[in-house]
Amino acid sequence: MNAVAATEYVERQAMALSAEEFELLCESVLTESLPPAQFSVTAFRQDGGIDIDGRVSNPLLDVSLGVQAKRYDPSNTVGSPAIQRFQGALADTGCDTGTVITTSSFTTPAAESAERAGIHLVDGPSLFESMVDLRVGVRRQSAQFEPDDGFWSLFGEPDEVGAIPSKRIPLANSFETLDTVLSAIGDTRGTKDDIVAYANVSARHADLYAIAGWILGFVHQEWPDEGTHRQRRWSLTRSGARYVAYRTADLEDEAESSLLGGIRNAEIIERICDSLAELGSFGHSDLVDFIASESELSRSSAKRRGSSVGVWLARLPEVSVENGRKKRYVWSEN
């Protein structure tokens, strides 16, 4: 693909995303465009509010930035009322400046309102051209571009109808460490080195607990892997940001409800619960056998992950654990 075809490609891909996925895409683009900066999707969605917040901080500059991301059809332009509401949200949150990013365009009154308020506007063509320039969603091969399929595959819900991939079976059995790693992802740029330094965990645990957050739907993986064109980076989804906000504010009931929702939505837990509800109970060895049968893991690998899966399962109020000579999981939902 030449640059024009690459721009059209990333536009098609971006328009196929959900509203929240588009926010995560914009967060990726912003972070790539301002390497010293830190951006994250905000915890709660409010009409006219801030979708992404960030801070550009260096020895010469320290600026807080609020961003609104609007995935609109090209015919649905952004008008001045939206800009005025966004200006109010910036004032309410104390942001120094703001940017509105849209896949469409802005009316003339909207552009005039933004200029008066000092708000930067990014329309669809500018966004997609920037993505190509920054190699977000495409790769450069000599004078041509090619799709970065790995990047786009990280968006969307998994469609698991067969064996569950091994990466979707958790190997993380400490919710306290999970909370620390999630906080690290939210408060840094989310690289492995950031997580290790902030959370005081090993590089291995930084990966394992970031992946656990991803399984829960709390974390988005920015890039497919390390060692290719850029370092893998993690960022919080809106659900993850909300969970961290609840924990930070000591809203334990809300945080627990959010965590339980993430656990129940994990494919392996969902399948286990379906089986457990039907059988009534099974032992830990049966759990390991089930993991091996439903996933791409060997039984020895399933055994290593069985402890973590059991901890996640036992967190659910509808499951009780009997610790006799052999551990047993009992479905106790009324």
Does 228 score more than 60 pLDDT? no
What is the band of 157 on the pLDDT scale with cuts at 50, 70, 90? low
Structural domain spans, the chain: 3-152, 168-265, 267-334
Average pLDDT over residues 239-266: 96
Strand 61-70, strand 97-102: pairing: parallel
Q: Average pLDDT, whole number, for the chain?
A: 91
Q: How far, in Å, CA of 231 to CA of 224, rounded?
A: 9
Does 126 score more than 70 pLDDT? yes
Q: Quote the pTM value.
A: 0.88
Superfamily of domain 267-334: F-112 protein-like (1.10.10.1470)
Helices 203-216 and 192-199 meet at what angle, rounded to 10?
Answer: 100
**Alpha-carbon distance values, 45 to 84, 171, 260 (Å):** 17, 31, 21
Looking at domain 3-152, its CATH architecture is 3-Layer(aba) Sandwich (3.40)
- Domain covering 168-265 assigned CATH 2.60.40.10 in the classification: no
- Other CB atoms closer than 10 Å to residue 64's CB: what's the count? 16
Strand extents, DSSP E, the chain: 38-41, 52-58, 61-70, 97-102, 119-122, 138-141, 144-147, 219-221, 234-236, 281-283, 319-323, 327-331
Q: Which of 225, 223, 221 is nearest to 235 (CA)?
A: 221
At 91, phi and psi to the nearest 5?
A: -65, -40
Average pLDDT over residues 1-5: 91
What is the band of 156 on the pLDDT scale with cuts at 50, 70, 90? confident
How far the first Cα of the chain sits from its last, in Å, is 58
Does 159 score more than 70 pLDDT? no
Half-sphere exposure of 47 (CA within 13 A, CB side): 2
Poorest-confidence range of 107-111, 138-142, 175-179, 186-190? 138-142
**Does the fold of domain 267-334 match that of domain 168-265?**
yes
**For 28-82, how does the pLDDT look when each residue is reduced to its tens digit (9 = 90+)?**
999 888 777 788 999 887 767 899 999 888 787 889 999 999 999 989 999 999 9
